[in-house]
Amino acid sequence: MAMAMRLRTRAAMRWLRPGLSLAAAAILAWPPLAFALPPAQDLAADARQMREQKLPMLVLYSREGCGWCERARVHHLDPMAADPATASRVLIRQIDVDRRTALADFSGKAGNHKDFARGRKIRLTPTIEVLGPDGELLAEPIVGVRLPDFYGTYIDRAVDTARDRLREKTP
């Protein structure tokens, strides 16, 4: 009886193995579902758009290997960036504090992510700043994830505060 069961199992596996291999290959080849935050590249060009549309910019300062940064992205910022309604509220950019990715600052001066973050005194990640078109801070920075259950609320409040301050500044 046990021998017959083993033979049936081997025969079944002979048929299943190629199908499982194909399924695994298809899953591994599937594009990642996460929406990548746009990296900051030309903040001067972004500032022109911000002025025209009266938008603040949300900047996530992140670093490789930062688990809390990944959680902030996956659970809060990626969904925001993928939502078309967000485009009418705020520009979203990411700056990698541990990389020398090329970056033009708000005045158009060439630099890189690492130096820009250092100049803004960003020491902990994740940090979120909501900025105006001149690079001015429009809301209290969000440093760390604080209370994860309320993190999305902190982000929404910071964006709303920044939008209110921009409206006050421009007639």
- 97 inside domain: yes
φ, ψ dihedrals at 137, nearest 5°: -75, 125
**pLDDT value for 5:** 60
Pair (83, 146) in one structural domain: yes
**pLDDT value for 115:** 98
The CATH number that applies at residue 134 is 3.40.30.10
Nearest to 73 by CA among 39, 42, 24: 39
Pair (24, 50) in one structural domain: no
pLDDT (tens place) for every residue of the chain, 171 residues total: 666 666 565 655 565 555 545 444 444 444 444 457 999 999 999 999 999 999 999 999 999 999 999 999 999 999 999 999 998 999 999 999 999 999 999 999 999 999 999 999 999 999 999 999 999 999 999 999 978 899 999 999 999 999 999 999 876
**pLDDT value for 52:** 96
**pLDDT value for 148:** 85
Pair (74, 96) in one structural domain: yes
**pLDDT value for 36:** 77
- Give the Å distances, CA to CA, from 146 to 29, 68, 126: 36, 10, 10
Pairing mode of beta strands 110-112, 102-104:
antiparallel
Tally Cβ neighbours within 10 Å of residue 117. Answer: 25
Catalogue the E-assigned strands of the chain. 57-62, 91-96, 102-104, 110-112, 127-131, 142-143
Q: Is 121 left (phi over 0), alpha (psi -120 to 50) or beta?
A: left
Q: Which class for 92: exposed (0-12), middle (13-18), buried (19 or more C-beta within 10 A)?
A: buried
Structurally, the chain folds into a number of domains equal to 2
Pair (133, 95) in one structural domain: yes
Contacts of 160 (CB under 8 A, 6+ apart): none
The model's pTM is 0.79
Range of the structural domain that residue 11 is part of: 1-30
